[in-house]
Structure 1
């Protein structure tokens, strides 16, 4: 084995590890190659700055000292006996101790590495557990926000339904279409109501100024029912006007009944002239 090692190292251009020598010489055990290298006198060794063993530790590198291949072979032949020398028990024990020590060191290093990996795994599990708790808290917060949004949407829909119901009620009351038309109709009704009240006040003044007191109910030729947010209604019978006012009061809170007393009649003549004749009391 030593001759083969010297032959390989003599043509090598750089340092070689025991594993590389074993691969080159087709030996099974790099440990036996390393043991043989330690017994050789013409071989230098160092700790590799870049190469590592399977356990992650720096590997040992070897190369020949500054001697020729023939000089190295001469040294080996000089040290060789005529008969093959059988290794004594002490040498075998020493070799076994070296192999066992190396294996024990490798096992210890592997155990340390496994402990480090287990510690890293434990820390990773703790980290993942904290992240899972954070994710669960965020999911709960998102669910609460979704419930609040759903409630806001329901409130908005309810408010919209209330507004639509109010619009339909107003349109039904005034007989108009659209919010703008409803506003205009309310303004018109308020103006008509003002004019009606002015006429009623004028009629009352005329009645008060007359020589003979006249019963308003007897002089009435109809009745006007007025209620907030409703179009004034003209009825001919007092009973119907009172019933309409009561119904309006239930819905709007107030209903007023006014007697319509004739003041005069406007007629169109044949000459297309309009004339107003005051009616005698």
Structure 2
């Protein structure tokens, strides 16, 4: 995910005849052709398989670094490269974020405990194409409060995806997520957002998880981006730890996240990293 750039102004406007050229010129959004979509989808298939593999290893006692090793080895064995490794100095092949860690957790010696919730974020590069997804898992039996947070967060992603269609706006997507999260008694992290993906790890557009209907970039076929709402059990304030990466809730409350890579199609939306929500 990206840190939100509040200076970028995105507004609804009529589209020119050359949509791809206009979107690149105005927003630096690179629309994807069939070859690009096919490449991203292949990378996405591996991302989903990696998350499924990791889910089978989530258990009390395993360390977050052991999860990282599993992701790293599985990715290489399948002819791909883990995108996070070395990205802007990130030292590991995946992000593992536990309990009050919102995102970008650096794997290490920490052991998972019964009742934890843990998010694993996987981005793979296969044949030069990037795809990105994450899931939040239960470690053994979790509290009813933790289970509800995770359930609502998955619902937030589902509602965001359902809002994606040609002619809708990014504001529609953000509003769908925000209204469900806040209506359920939770808060939405503002500073971290979804992003375009495919040719590179992070591309335009930025995808806010809050918004007003009708505002923001108009969605057109060929756009590929992530939706990855981070939903806090408590307040929306965040802190970043001294490691320069790990983002946590300021009040110590739990946070959950789900993410998929989406393609805007002629008739609606297609997930390029599909898994059940």
Alignment TM-score, normalising by the size of structure 1: 0.19
- Give the structure with the larger helix fraction: 1
Report which of the two structures shows the higher radius of gyration computed on alpha carbons.
1
TM-score by length of 2: 0.20
- The structure whose RCO (Cα within 8 Å, separation 6+) is larger is 2
Structure number having the greater strand percentage: 2
